[in-house]
Structure 1
Amino acid sequence: MKVEFVLFELFTLGGVPLLMAWVWRRYRRNAKLRARGAHARGTVLRKEHLRHGDGFEEHESTRCILHYSFSLPDGTVLQHTYEDHFMAWTGMSPGSQIDVAYWPEAPRHSLPENGGVNGPLFSACSALALIMMCAGLYGLVDHLWEGAPPPFVRPPPESQMRPLQQ
């Protein structure tokens, strides 16, 4: 058995489900916070586009850090940061108003508008994971059946077997 095959199978049939479990956990946590948490109007303080590179050439990353503030009902002002894909906050600039969901009993856990794993992103990840797992399953089944007779084909009875003619 080739090492590449084993690694592919471990990734598609082991790693992909683990990755999906992690994404599902984040999706449920964010959905729960949006549905059951308290909401406040917040203000964007600034956005930072992350940069990455090897020291010779720098590129703008697809990641962005949003700095925002919001007020609790008792008047306490909190400032938080949240890192996510830059597309989540396209069009927002310092001073923009956003909705912030937070847990009243632990306001340090907050989620800005459009932040976190949402339904469309989860659906896209699920579809991709399903395709990858099907590819892994197909590869495994194909490997196991390699050299085996085709399914549902019976060999002829011994009475009908004839020697090969050359």
Structure 2
Amino acid sequence: MKKLSSLLLAAAIAASTLAADELRSTVYIGAASSSIENKSMTEVVFGFGGDKIYDSGLIMGFHSEYSYGSIEAESSNDKSGVSTIEVDLKGGYSPFKNFSVFALVAGAGQYIESDAAYGFGYGAGMDYALTESIILDMRYKTYSMKDALLDYDYDKAVLSLRYKF
């Protein structure tokens, strides 16, 4: 009985350390500097997501975003449109109330003109709450993309403003 009481007490303490302090739902807009096989482009980024911030400072989140840019075509000086849809799983830590650092695991689907590619990647970032509702977010991600004909790297650095509702 004493062991069971100790086990239940330990479980209650562990569960209380994971009590959610805040659920943060956001929409965001931003700009990205990205590259596909060493050709750079600027993208406009739109997204939404949610973070669960625990009393202990741990953060777990899910985010989805759409970005659009254009890149020079291989065969001419024409520009090709690049659309990317991404899904991120986020895990991090908030050492201070307004600041957090995080790691990302991500998947992406990308369309360059009529070619489609998919890939998985990872990244890291940080955010800072400017006000109760406005959050400045910076992150970097790298993907290994694959399509029917070739494999390529897609790297992306994003600066965005999030609105918390």
TM-score interval, smaller chain? under 0.3
Higher-strand-fraction structure: 2
Higher-helix-fraction structure: 1
Point out which structure has higher relative CO (alpha carbons under 8 A, 6+ apart).
1
TM-score scaled by structure 1? Answer: 0.27
